[in-house]
Structure 1
């Protein structure tokens, strides 16, 4: 067992580099943080247990991944960092294939993208219950209790543009673009442009015009909208750059976009071997909500903070670790 509280890679973890290379995954460098127990107390059953934590490749996911690693370290486990996996499908495969033992996922993504459903469920708990039942039955994936973090999609524009054209909802945008089709310039990420809960579906629901679609990496969309490269951009409702760049999120008044509550997901066989992981993660999940995660995201994407340090500072502030 490695020194308590320091997130370093064991020799076993280093061997994962070769195993994951074929899928484009890389075990990340260690976090030089000493993690001591706070309200999360050492769990004898988890002492020295190696748990690989994954995440997708955007800020919120990386922060959540580090939060999980810090919690597990405080409980006595040896956390291996496999955050920042490129793309939802790759991160999902890593979990199913056993390259990752634990990662945060979103209920809407699980229901629509992984389970192939075409109709989201509007209510948070009902959506969580449906995806957790189906994913366990079909794929052996357990969803731990969901958090209040609901990172769904939305369209945003600048506050000045919205005020000038009296835009508050997607229906307002649709009416405006019907009268001003040359203004229908959208910035979206590549995945959103084609996924069923993205651009194709929302266009069918609202019927708005699109003159030009520009694709960007997720992080570039916010500055592209703020800088006038496009008039409307796909955003995530918990992203800190919304406040930092003075953007206005348009309300999804027809309730098209699904619920995207964040929850810890694990393979049932791994959780059955180490059931106390659920106890460790429960209070952390309960402490998270949109207000908390927006501020954490802002500290990275607006203020330039390091995701691992932002996660550490939040865990300390909440008393989970010392």
Structure 2
């Protein structure tokens, strides 16, 4: 398993996080429950899912009125939080827009969101035939994490570099390929 998690997350403007001393979802819950009006932006699926927004709010004992939750397409939540239309955005934890909009992902300190860790899959007969594959792929588990994936995604999504070029350059930089 590769040690980065591409899951749902909640993010705020970094300035908002600093000014209000909010680093975790528990911190956000305390802030909301102290009577601060906080507007959330989530995609329609996350709003409707049984294990979505309201389940997360319940897990964190966060009293959020439905009127304070706006639904929008997932890609729009980043810009909406950056522009101040909402205070907290549902995001994906490795999305390049986190860098583009300078957002802080709040730590899921109760581990509410499911893990979506990537894994390398190789058919057993291929692995048995080419024993060196295991050692060749092993460094991927050492050199990839959320911050690196966000930066690599940024090069593709924001700068427009082809994914294959970004991957090759990254692996060459680590001296994993020539």
Relative to the length of structure 1, the TM-score reads 0.46
Q: Do 1:158 and 1:226's aligned partners in 2 also have CA atoms closer than 8 Å? A: yes
2:126 to 274, 288, 310: 274
The equivalent position to 1:293 in structure 2, one of 145, 149, 155, is 149
Deviation at 1:158, TM superposition (A): 0.8
2:107 corresponding residue in structure 1: 251
Aligned residue in 2 for 1:177: 32
- The aligned residue for residue 313 of structure 1 is 169
Give the Cα–Cα distance (whole angstroms) in 2 for the partners of residues 166 and 317 of structure 1: 37
Runs of 4+ aligned structure 1 residues displaced above 4 Å come to: none
Aligned-residue CA RMSD in angstroms? Answer: 2.8
Mapped to 2, the partners of 1:172 and 1:284 lie a distance apart of 33
Q: How far is the alpha carbon of 1:173 from its aligned partner?
A: 1.8
Q: 1:305 to 1:188 in 2, by over 3 A?
A: farther
Partner of 2:22: 167
- Bigger radius of gyration, 1 or 2? 1
Structure 2 unaligned regions, length at least 5: none
Q: Find the aligned partners of 1:318 and 1:199 in 2 and give their Cα distance.
A: 39
| Conserved 8 A contact 1:197-1:258 | no
Larger strand fraction of residues? 1
What CA distance in whole angstroms lies between the structure 1 residues aligned with 2:155 and 2:106?
A: 23
- Across the two proteins, how many residue pairs are aligned to each other? 171
Query: What are structure 1's unaligned runs of at least 5 residues?
Result: 1-145
Query: Matches of 2:109 and 2:95 in 1, distance apart?
Result: 20
Instruction: Determine the structure 1 residue equivalent to 2:87.
Output: 231
TM-score, length of structure 2 as denominator length: 0.76
1:154-207: CA deviation from partner (whole Å, max 9, x where unpaired)? 2111122233433232222223223446x3322223443344553242122013
Deviation of the 1:296 alpha carbon: 0.7
Q: How does 1:1-322 map to 2 (within 5 A)?
A: 146-180=1-35, 183-195=37-49, 197-208=51-62, 209-210=64-65, 211-217=68-74, 219-265=75-121, 271-275=123-127, 276=130, 279=134, 281-322=137-178
Preserved contact between residue 153 and residue 235 of structure 1 (Cα < 8 Å): yes
Quick one: distance in 2 between partners of 1:245 and 1:152?
19
**Alpha-carbon distance in 2 for matches of 1:221, 1:204:** 21
